[in-house]
Amino acid sequence: MSIQTKKLVIGLFGFGVVGEGLYRVLQQTPGLNAEVKRVCIKHADKPRNAPPELFTTDPETLFDDPEINLIIELIDDADAAFHLVTRALKKGIAVVSANKKLLAEHLDLLIELQQKYQAPLLYEAAACASIPVIRNLEEYYDNDLLQRICGIVNGSTNYILSKIFDEDIDFETALRQAQAEGFAESDPSTDVEGLDARNKLCILLTHAFGLRARPQDIPCLGIQQLKQADADYAREKGFAIKLVAQAQKQSDGQVATLVLPQFVAPENLLYNVKQEYNGVVIETNFADKQFFYGKGAGSFPTASAVLSDLSALRYRYRYEYKKLRHSVPTTLSEDYYLKVYVSFEQLYQVPREAFQEIYQWSSAADFCQVSGLLHISQLLEHDWWKNDSVSLILLPDGIIDARTVQTKKYQRKPELVF
């Protein structure tokens, strides 16, 4: 019997926020003909809201059960997840995972294993939870037409920023609330420092542009260094501050890719993405902008994406990674400019010469602000912007193609050219 018609018998790893959510959601969708047979957990003594005979702490119980034909991995330890997922694929068992870190770091190998052992791995829940963005990027958008993806892909930081901006709640309280709601990672610094968003961006890049990038090669800042003065500056200009993950094709075909806090103007579709919601704006040559919006964290929204993978397995859906097979591989650009605002405490912390152009510079005894144009090499090769008392925020439409900058400079200052 094929997986299309036979019952999906699930071995589930993890019964946290998402695992339990999936268990509940499955109970409400009998039409899917899927049943959780065993759940492997780490801590046997935690009280669980499900029959005790479901649980085991021994992974072998799941792997040795001949009836289990689908492994769902929803644990938060990426290293342990790596062993479980590779083991299942090597046994030819279909896998669904929501582990962003695992996927961002090991997708090359996981693609290889899927092909070698003819076992599918689906992971719609790993980026933007309930928003079906991975399958859309994979199937709908032709690489040549796709110019840009730009999104709020971490629910916790968006929730925290909304609380700070809209409700005047302080950072620590907002973070505690995000944890209590089950939005944050078990180590919330992963959210706050932008690392979770960067992992998700790595996954999206694969399906959007056929670009495999290592997380550590993507410049990334979170929201931990943002200060009251930055929020005041944003308010004064009518902007919101959002943590934005983006990838923008440059005129040479390479892709400018980063995760940074950004000033977002009211006319930007991301402006009204608040609380734990995520939003992704996709720009193509011919269709212009399209906008995906939905809950990006939380038990049921994430479980709903896992559920959609189960249902996709029914019709033998697999990621084909079509764009990875392009004859000319897409690569990360190291030659573009950023329009940024930087605030900092001491003059020596930010080198003036880092800027290609300075739009505005103000300095007082213990507070300075500058806005200007930086070459991306400043972020790739220097560390001054990572200092906790330095706050770097991308200005609206802040990614500038290197060729545009040269053209403008020549027009503005012809005396420098001749």
- Interface contacts to ligand HSE, rule CB under 6 A: 129, 154-156, 183-185, 191, 196, 296-297
| CA 154 to each of CA 51, 132, 141, 169, 198: distance values in angstroms, whole numbers, following the listed order | 33, 15, 23, 19, 9
Long-range contact pairs involving 268-275 (C-beta distance under 8 Å, separation at least 24): 268/396, 270/150, 270/151, 270/152, 270/242, 270/244, 271/240, 271/242, 273/152, 273/158, 273/242, 274/158, 274/162, 274/166, 275/155, 275/158, 275/159, 275/162
Smallest distance from ligand HSE to CB 393, Å? 20
* Residue 300 CB, nearest approach to ligand HSE (Å): 12
**Cβ burial, residue 111 (10 Å; 0-12/13-18/19+):** middle
C-alpha neighbours within 13 Å on the C-beta side of residue 255:
30
Positions marked catalytic: 200
* Residue among 200, 181, 194, 188 nearest 300 (CA): 181
Yes or no: say if 129 and 278 are a contact pair by the CB < 8 Å rule: yes
Q: To which residue do tokens 């997922």 refer?
A: 85
Of 393, 369, 392, 385, nearest in space to 241 by CA: 393
Instruction: Report the residue number, 59 or 188, with the smaller CB distance to ligand HSE.
Output: 188
| Interhelix angle 155-167/171-180, nearest 10 degrees | 130
d(CA 141, CA 368): 43
| β pairing state of 94-97 and 121-122 | parallel
Comparing CA positions, the residue from 10, 11, 8 lying closest to residue 56 is 11
DSSP state of 185: -
What is the greatest pairwise CA distance in the chain?
81
- For residue 378, give the nearest of 202, 227, 225, 221 by alpha carbon: 221
- CB-nearer residue toward ligand HSE: 159 or 355: 159
Query: Of the two residues 130 and 268, which places its CB atom closer to ligand HSE in the complex?
Result: 130
Token couple for 213: 């990038």
What residue ranges in 233-304 does DSSP mark as E strands? 240-249, 255-264, 277-284, 288-295
Give which of 105, 134, 57 is closest to 306, Cα–Cα.
134
